């Protein structure tokens, strides 16, 4: 695009990322999760908080830690207790006081450096070229990051100069219970939010000055995301927050009140915040929703927020409990629950994902070999050369057992991949034709 060079790409991309980060709590637990059981003896803050001390300002980290302890089964006589140190002593205290610990919805987001906090002098998202390099140098001087590594961000810009295209990479996903029911809608929502954020920027509705780049403001919006991973129901935002986009969202959230514990802060329910985000998407993105045909996806998201049993976190937890032969995660020890989770992921969930993916592959093979496709004549010669006159569905049926059992030979794999590439090219051409018709 004329005039859209690296500087414009960085300015737009960083601002889109900052906007999208406000919406990321919608994904955590609803579409993607990584349930993990923590025992009482695991609750040493230096251990259980993972990378959060490098991702949140101390103020938000302290608030989050207090609420996490309150949410967990760590209280005795109304006061939360954390482990003392020696493991043998912690085990005895856990047994004597009946302290069971906690179940976290998405532990991967805590155990992985999802987004390192900016420094007062360097931000990765201020819209200026080279800002990531400057931040890495600052973090390296502090001894917390190797500058040879790529910077960690929850939502990351893929720059044209490095990748050959402009786009965004989401790193907020953990595991999906279903390819079609969870991963598909999550991808649609991500595309919708990116388009909505681009619209805000291009209409000048949101600017960099409205979302300042200092570490506290950055931490203020990300605490909601990490709190969602833990399962904490509330969060706190300064009453006079300098993040005007966040203030705009909070103005539509129901049941907020001034905090009695933290002077100058507003107490916000995460559930109500997410519901307000959905309404904001419906209102500001109504044309995008209609153009993309995503009305049903948004209704499904609202239903997941209203009924937690429909969320990915609850479905994954249910599968793990079924594997363990239990009904309550807190009645299992951390070792028992997490071992069952490992078995569930490696066997049951893996096979489920393979079966779903194979079903989608069968649909693609039927479509490219359907009568309507043959009338077009685009892929007839290629299919004949690959399959020797056999239909694509018949070929796939013949090799299905070997493919699912991971016993297919090189020639079978090569042919399958080549037909898959043809189906992808068919999808690409049909999409391009549809976009051209809309234009």
Task: Note the pLDDT tens digit of each residue in 235-293.
Answer: 999 999 999 999 999 999 999 999 999 999 999 999 999 999 999 999 999 999 999 99
Shared-domain flag, residues 288 and 373: no
Residue numbers of the domain that contains 117: 6-309
pLDDT of the residue at 438: 52
pLDDT of the residue at 3: 63
pLDDT of the residue at 412: 95
pLDDT of the residue at 386: 92
pLDDT of the residue at 437: 52
Shared-domain flag, residues 377 and 430: yes
Q: Is residue 109 part of a domain?
A: yes
d(CA 119, CA 214) in angstroms, rounded, equals: 7
Shared-domain flag, residues 89 and 53: yes
pLDDT of the residue at 162: 82
Instruction: Decide if 155 contacts 169 (C-beta within 8 A).
Output: yes
Sequence-distant (≥ 6) Cβ neighbours of residue 11 within 8 angstroms: 127, 128, 208
Shared-domain flag, residues 116 and 158: yes
Instruction: Name the average pLDDT for the chain.
Output: 91
pLDDT of the residue at 93: 78
Q: What is the pLDDT along the chain (439 residues), one digit of tens a residue?
A: 556 788 999 999 999 999 999 999 999 999 999 999 999 888 888 889 999 999 999 999 999 999 999 988 787 777 778 887 777 777 777 778 878 889 999 999 999 899 999 999 999 999 999 999 999 999 899 888 888 888 889 999 998 888 888 899 999 999 999 999 999 999 999 999 999 999 999 999 999 999 999 999 999 999 999 999 999 999 999 999 999 999 999 999 999 999 999 999 999 999 999 999 999 999 999 999 999 999 999 999 999 999 888 899 999 999 999 999 999 999 999 999 999 999 999 999 999 999 999 999 999 999 998 888 878 888 889 999 999 989 999 999 999 999 988 899 999 999 999 999 999 999 888 887 765 555 4
Number of domains in the chain: 2
Instruction: Decide if 237 contacts 246 (C-beta within 8 A).
Output: yes
pLDDT of the residue at 435: 55
Burial 136-150 (b: 16+ CB within 10 A, else e): bebbeeeeebeeeee
Shared-domain flag, residues 230 and 170: yes
Q: Is residue 324 part of a domain?
A: no
Shared-domain flag, residues 206 and 294: yes
Q: Is residue 414 part of a domain?
A: yes
């Amino acid at each position: 695009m004329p005039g859209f060079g690296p500087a414009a790409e960085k300015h737009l991309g960083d601002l889109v990322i900052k906007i999208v980060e406000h919406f990321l709590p919608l994904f955590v637990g609803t579409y993607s999760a990584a349930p993990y059981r923590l025992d009482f003896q695991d609750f040493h803050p230096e251990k259980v908080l993972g990378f959060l001390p490098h991702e949140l300002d101390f103020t938000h980290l302290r608030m989050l830690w207090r609420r996490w302890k309150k949410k967990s089964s760590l209280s005795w006589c109304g006061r939360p207790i954390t482990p003392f140190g020696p493991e043998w002593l912690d085990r005895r205290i856990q047994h004597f006081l009946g302290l069971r610990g906690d179940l976290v919805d998405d532990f991967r987001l805590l155990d992985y450096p999802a987004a390192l906090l900016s420094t007062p002098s360097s931000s990765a998202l201020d819209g200026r070229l080279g800002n990531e390099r400057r931040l890495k140098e600052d973090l390296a001087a502090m001894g917390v990051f190797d500058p040879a590594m790529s910077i960690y961000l929850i939502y990351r810009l893929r720059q044209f100069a490095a990748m050959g295209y402009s786009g965004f990479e989401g790193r907020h996903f953990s595991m999906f219970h279903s390819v079609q029911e969870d991963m598909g809608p999550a991808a649609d929502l991500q595309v919708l939010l990116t388009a909505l954020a681009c619209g805000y920027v291009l209409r000048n509705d949101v600017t960099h000055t409205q979302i300042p780049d200092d570490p506290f403001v950055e931490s203020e919006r990300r605490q909601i995301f990490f709190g969602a991973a833990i399962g904490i129901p509330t969060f706190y935002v300064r009453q006079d927050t300098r993040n005007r986009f966040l203030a705009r969202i909070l103005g539509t959230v129901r049941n907020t009140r001034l905090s009695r514990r933290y002077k100058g802060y507003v107490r916000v329910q995460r559930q109500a915040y997410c519901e307000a985000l959905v309404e904001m998407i419906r209102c500001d993105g109504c044309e995008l929703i209609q153009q993309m045909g995503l009305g049903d996806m948004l209704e499904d998201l609202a239903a997941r927020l209203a009924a937690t049993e429909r969320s990915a976190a609850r479905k994954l937890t249910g599968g793990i409990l079924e594997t363990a032969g239990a009904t309550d995660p807190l009645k299992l020890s951390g070792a028992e629950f997490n071992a069952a989770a490992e078995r569930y992921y490696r066997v049951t969930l893996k096979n489920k994902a393979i079966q779903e993916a194979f079903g989608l592959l069968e649909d693609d093979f039927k479509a490219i070999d359907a009568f309507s496709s043959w009338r077009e004549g685009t892929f007839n010669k290629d299919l004949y050369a690959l399959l020797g006159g056999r239909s694509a569905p018949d070929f796939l049926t013949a090799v299905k057992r070997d493919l699912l059992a991971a016993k297919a030979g090189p020639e079978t794999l090569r042919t399958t991949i080549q037909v898959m590439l043809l189906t992808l090219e068919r999808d690409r051409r049909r999409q391009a034709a549809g976009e051209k018709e809309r234009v």
